[in-house]
Chains A and B, each alone.
Chain A
């Protein structure tokens, strides 16, 4: 069974970087696409970007200067880095597999940006 699990700090200070890991079991990240999505307080959802089976990436232009998605195929993990965070980046962050759609999701990790 495909399982995804996000991990990372729940609290980040403004202007610092947010770094999250998505650990995948039951499926290789060298197949298909793997994405990050976040849900803000108040329920708005935002697609952040994805990394493909080959390692190519695509990002939401609204984040393009701050976001990086990378991977470690030996550990079957992919990563999100978001730089220069502000309180507006407070959200629950989800990783997901993309096969026709976002068909498998992690349970989400809540990240608060606060000093």
Chain B
């Protein structure tokens, strides 16, 4: 049973560019949440997708957008990258929206230069 998978593992981008990160949830999970984790900080909630819609959103600008597909996989898009967007981006899946039994993927480490 595959857990949560994310791609790519690492990414280097230049300021102003756009990036797309991908996530496949654990089998049987229908909800995907995205987090940004800067060094030395806890994960910061970006948004949650359920039934292909953004259900909840944290305090992130509109440059951060996402999508969920019918197979429950998800993408996180970040436009107009800033140096401060450098972080580990974590995807987590759960069976339902309650965050119980939430499993994280290994993350994508994004470096913006």
Instruction: Tell whether A pairs with B.
Output: no
